[in-house]
Structure formats: structure tokens, C-alpha cells
């Protein structure tokens, strides 16, 4: 994991030519981001769509490795660990053209907004998804400012509790 269990944005192997691009979003050989993949997911989204803010609770809490294989997103993390960083919002721009990836540690709610139609977001989890431990916070309550007007959300995401109502089961940042 990243130092102090904090988010980590990193460059991946990514090349392009007249044919298009070729990427390797993760390898154990990268070393800086030790991560064991247990499950892979992907979503497609239209421009302005917001998905999130999701996380899994202990004992099934999962870290995620996120990358974009088509399009571009603004990826947002909200720290829901007790302590001085509670509620801190972190924003990252991820695009297929740049080949960057983001490590989302345990204790952060995760979501994103698609910046381009037909955006494909991929993520790997280091634990299997557990419906009984699925949770999240409502992005509207976390002070997130999206770069585009929000064009679409899900009923599930709209019904998530406010961050002020979220009782964190996570340990605070280790300094």
C-alpha cells in the first residue's frame, strides 16, 4: 500500500502509436503499489454521470486499484477514517490517454464523474465484494464539486446517507 495507507496516483506502462495505445495498468513488478487482485470490475458511463461514493466495511473492507481504458474521469476519494483527515476530499483526473492508475486504500469512499461519453472505468479489488458490507456516503453531503453538471446518478447512490450520519468503523491515519 501507499505510505501511511494514503491514496497513490502512479504512472503505468502505457505507449501509443498510429494504431492506438497499449497499457499494462498493474504488475507486481511495479513494486511501489503492492496489491493482490481478487476481483475485477468495469463500468461504462456517459458524460456527466456520477457514480459513488462507495466502500466496503470491515471485516470485508477492500482497497481498489482504478484505471480508465476509454475516456476520462475525475476520480474522487473522501476520507472516512476518524481523525483530522475525516471528510477530506481528494480529486484526481484519470484518462485512457495518460495511462495513470489510482490506489484507493481502505477507509476512503470512492466515486467518479465521466468527462467523456462512453468512458470505461476499471477497478480491481484486493477482496471479494461482500453485499453485507457494502456501504457509502451521499456525494452531495461531502462538499464535492464536479467539473461538469451532473447528468445522471443512480437511485441507490442518491439514497446513501450523508457523511455526517456515517459512523466510521475504520482506524484513523497512521502517522
Tell me which residues are annotated as active site: 54, 123
Distances (CA, A) of 146 to 75, 103, 110, 115, 175: 10, 20, 14, 10, 30
Rg for the chain (alpha carbons), in Å? 16
CB 101 within 8 A of CB 26: yes
Closest C-alpha to 65, from 18, 19, 1, 153:
1
Amino acid at each position: 500500500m501507499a505510505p501511511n495507507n494514503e491514496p497513490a496516483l502512479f504512472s503505468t506502462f502505457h505507449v501509443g502509436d498510429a494504431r492506438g495505445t497499449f497499457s499494462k495498468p498493474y504488475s507486481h513488478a511495479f513494486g511501489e503499489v503492492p496489491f493482490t487482485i481478487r476481483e475485477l470490475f468495469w463500468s461504462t458511463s456517459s458524460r456527466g454521470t456520477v457514480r459513488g461514493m462507495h466502500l466496503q466495511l470491515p471485516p470485508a473492507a477492500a482497497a481498489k486499484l482504478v484505471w480508465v481504458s476509454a475516456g476520462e474521469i475525475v476520480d474522487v476519494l473522501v476520507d472516512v477514517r476518524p481523525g483530522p483527515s475525516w471528510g477530506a476530499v481528494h480529486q484526481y483526473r484519470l484518462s485512457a490517454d495518460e495511462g495513470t492508475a489510482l490506489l484507493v486504500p481502505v477507509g476512503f469512499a470512492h466515486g467518479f464523474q465521466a468527462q467523456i461519453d462512453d468512458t470505461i472505468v476499471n477497478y480491481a479489488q484486493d477482496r471479494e465484494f461482500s453485499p453485507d458490507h457494502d456501504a457509502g456516503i451521499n456525494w452531495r453531503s461531502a462538499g464535492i464539486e464536479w467539473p461538469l453538471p451532473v447528468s445522471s446518478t443512480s437511485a441507490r447512490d442518491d439514497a446513501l446517507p450523508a457523511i455526517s450520519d456515517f459512523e466510521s468503523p475504520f482506524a484513523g491515519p497512521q502517522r
